[in-house]
Amino acid sequence: MFTWSFIIIEALSAVGLIFLVLLHSGRGGGISDLMGGSLGAAASGSTVVDRNLDRLTIAVALIFTFATLTLDLRLQ
């Protein structure tokens, strides 16, 4: 049961991480441009939404990393 719960956590965090990375605006804009993210970014350097998106992405990446390491150590 322990292993399956971490597999589920890892799969959900992987999908969430993909979605969050796609939301970031890059050189070409990305998906966040479609949602109006470029309007605030053009007026000011970094908006509150961008900073919160960065923090959320880092948190999900850490969850993914710890779930991966836990599964690796558990299955050996």
Please count the structural domains in the chain: 1
Q: pLDDT value at position 50?
A: 85
Q: pLDDT value at position 25?
A: 72
Q: pLDDT value at position 47?
A: 81
Q: What is the pTM assigned to this prediction?
A: 0.73
CB atoms under 10 Å from CB of 23, counted, come to 18
- Tell me the residue range of the domain where 24 lies: 2-75
pLDDT along the chain (76 residues), means of 10: 92 96 73 59 67 94 96 85
